[in-house]
Amino acid sequence: MTTETKKSYPAYRLCFALYTGTERNGRQEIGFPVEIGAAWPRDDENKGLILRFNLVPDDLRSGLILLKPVEAEISDQSGLPLEEVA
């Protein structure tokens, strides 16, 4: 007898982009975002997300963290390994 486990896919990709300079209007420019981890939904959506960092930037103040939405179909086709979170 086997029990099926439901695969849990990340809801967001965590990305980090360094500040690269300042625009004419005084806003900071950011560089290309690099994926540093993922965020999974919890069973109770009101309790937030579970974050897993694969890389942690040396100085988080030197840039910003972005959450990019992920769709399960896209994740399946990307060829990237997705870890299951309990």
Give the total number of structural domains in the chain. Answer: 1
pLDDT tens digits for 2-23?
555 566 789 999 999 999 999 8
Instruction: Report the distance separating Cα 67 and Cα 15, nearest Å.
Output: 6
- Distance of alpha carbon 77 from alpha carbon 57, whole angstroms: 28
Query: Which DSSP state fits 27?
Result: P
Query: Is position 63 within any domain?
Result: yes
- Mean pLDDT across the chain, nearest whole number? 81
| pLDDT at residue 75, rounded to an integer | 45
Residue 65 sits in which domain range?
14-71
Predicted confidence band of residue 34 (pLDDT cuts 50, 70, 90): very high
Query: Is 6 among the domain residues?
Result: no
Whether pLDDT at 72 is above 70? no
**This prediction's pTM:** 0.68
Pairing of strands 28-30, 34-41: unpaired
Alpha carbon distance 9, 52 (integer Å): 12
Q: What is the pLDDT of residues 41-65, one digit of tens each?
A: 988 888 999 999 999 999 889 999 9
On whether residue 85 sits in a domain, the answer given is no
| Residue 77 forms part of a structural domain | no
| Residues with Cβ within 8 Å of residue 22, at least 6 apart in sequence | 28, 29
Share of residues in the chain with pLDDT > 70 (%):
74
